[in-house]
């Protein structure tokens, strides 16, 4: 199987500090990865490298077979779907949900224009339907709740038919119902053999959708663990990652973690 992502000794240095520090990591086709780590660990920075929006200060990054630095990123970027907060802020608030998803087919943050392909509209509707956004097609993007906005962004990221889908804390800020709904939908996507390779960032093991196969843990820019969920997502690794004693448990096809009681 070919590599979707291959990082070799990648560092990202800003103001003399390594936000990502010597990370080597490879993602193969069909794998679904979750990135875990505390606030400020470098998760978003790592995802920005994977999306080709950030060049490593040193090391090499190969995305979908193309090496960053020797590829035209404008050809590479449409092959990558990215749903994160930074994206949401760039999108026009007055556009409807359907328009917000549909415009993804015509460049990053293009505004609405009547000249679209009905086939694209059909696809936009289908992705929104898959994310439970059927009743919101005509709502303005700026009026959506956090959960509705996140689901819209995921549908939007799917619109270009990406080979790699990157999700930065898709469940952050959702209430319990919203989180469970999203985790279920992402789980369904993760198990779809035709879905793109996926990398999702989160702080919480409770948000790992069933069907995610691999985990990467990062702390202070350094890779702590990377490999299959079954072997790497354990109490020892998670405790090192978050810097306190934690017990992680598998409950059915989901995960929970809690701190040990104080003595
Ligand atoms: N452009 C930048 N210049 C300097 N520091 C940055 C920049 N972007 C992020 N940081 C810092 O790098 C660290 C890692 O950030 P980030 O990747 O966003 O962490 P995470 O997503 O894991 O919370 C944080 O300490 C953050 O403040
Ligand atoms: Mg982040």
- CATH at 239: 3.40.50.300
**CA-nearest residue, atom 12 of ligand 1:** 19
Would you place residue 116 in the very low, low, confident or very high pLDDT band (cuts 50, 70, 90)?
A: confident
Q: How far is CA 175 from the centre of its chain?
A: 19
Backbone angles phi, psi at 198, to 5 degrees: -130, 140
Q: Read off the pLDDT of each residue in 24-36 and give the average, rounded to a whole number.
A: 97
pLDDT in tens, 53-97: 999 999 999 999 999 998 898 889 889 998 877 777 888 899 999
| The pLDDT of residue 107 | 60
**Mind listing the pLDDT tens digit for each residue in 220-238?**
999 999 999 999 999 999 9
Question: Which residues line ligand 1 at a C-beta cut-off of 6 Å?
Answer: 14-15, 19, 37, 39-45
The DSSP bridge partners found for residue 61 are 7
pLDDT tens by residue, 92-104: 899 999 999 998 8
Global pTM value: 0.92
State the burial class of residue 210 (Cβ atoms within 10 Å of its Cβ: 0-12, 13-18, 19+).
middle
Alpha carbon 31 to chain centroid, angstroms: 13
Pocket test for ligand 1, best of 20, 42, 84 (most atoms within 8 A of CB): 42
* Cβ within 8 Å of residue 151, ≥6 positions away: 131, 132, 133, 182, 185
- What is the model's pLDDT at position 173? 83
Per-residue pLDDT band at 110 (split at 50, 70, 90): low
Residues 176, 220: contact at Cβ < 8 Å?
no
Considering the chain, what is the average pLDDT of its residues? 92
Residues 89, 90, 95, 98, CA torsion sign: negative
pLDDT of residue 187: 96
Which atom of ligand 1 is least distant from the CA of 38? 22
pLDDT in tens, 122-172: 999 999 998 899 999 999 999 998 889 989 999 999 988 899 999 999 988
Range of the domain at 146: 3-259
Length, in residues, of the chain: 263
Atom 1 of ligand 1: nearest residue by CA position: 14
Backbone angles phi, psi at 131, to 5 degrees: -100, 15
Structural domain count, the chain:
1
């Amino acid at each position: 199987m070919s590599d979707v992502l291959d990082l070799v000794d990648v560092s990202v240095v800003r103001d003399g500090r390594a936000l990502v520090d010597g990370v080597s990591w490879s993602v193969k086709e069909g794998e679904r990865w979750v990135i875990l780590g505390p606030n400020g660990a470098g998760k978003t920075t790592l995802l920005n490298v994977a999306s080709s929006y950030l060049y490593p200060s040193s090391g090499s990054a190969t995305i979908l077979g193309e090496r960053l630095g020797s590829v035209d990123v404008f050809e590479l970027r449409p092959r990558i779907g990215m749903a994160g907060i930074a994206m949401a802020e760039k999108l026009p608030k007055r556009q409807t949900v359907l328009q917000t998803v549909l415009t993804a087919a015509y460049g990053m943050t293009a505004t609405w224009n009547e000249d679209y392909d009905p086939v694209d509209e059909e696809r936009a509707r289908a992705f929104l339907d898959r994310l439970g956004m059927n009743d919101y097609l005509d709502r303005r993007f700026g009026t959506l709740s956090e959960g509705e906005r996140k689901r819209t962004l995921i549908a939007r990221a799917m619109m270009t038919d990406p080979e790699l889908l990157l999700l930065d804390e898709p469940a952050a800020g959702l209430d319990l119902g919203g989180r469970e709904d999203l985790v279920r939908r992402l789980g369904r996507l993760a198990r779809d053999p035709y879905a793109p390779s996926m990398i999702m960032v989160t702080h919480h093991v409770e948000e790992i959708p069933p069907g995610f196969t691999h985990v990467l843990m990062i702390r202070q820019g350094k890779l702590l663990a990377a490999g299959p969920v079954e072997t790497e997502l354990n109490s020892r690794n998670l405790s090192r990652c978050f810097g306190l004693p934690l017990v992680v448990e598998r409950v059915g096809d989901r995960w929970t973690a809690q701190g040990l009681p104080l003595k």
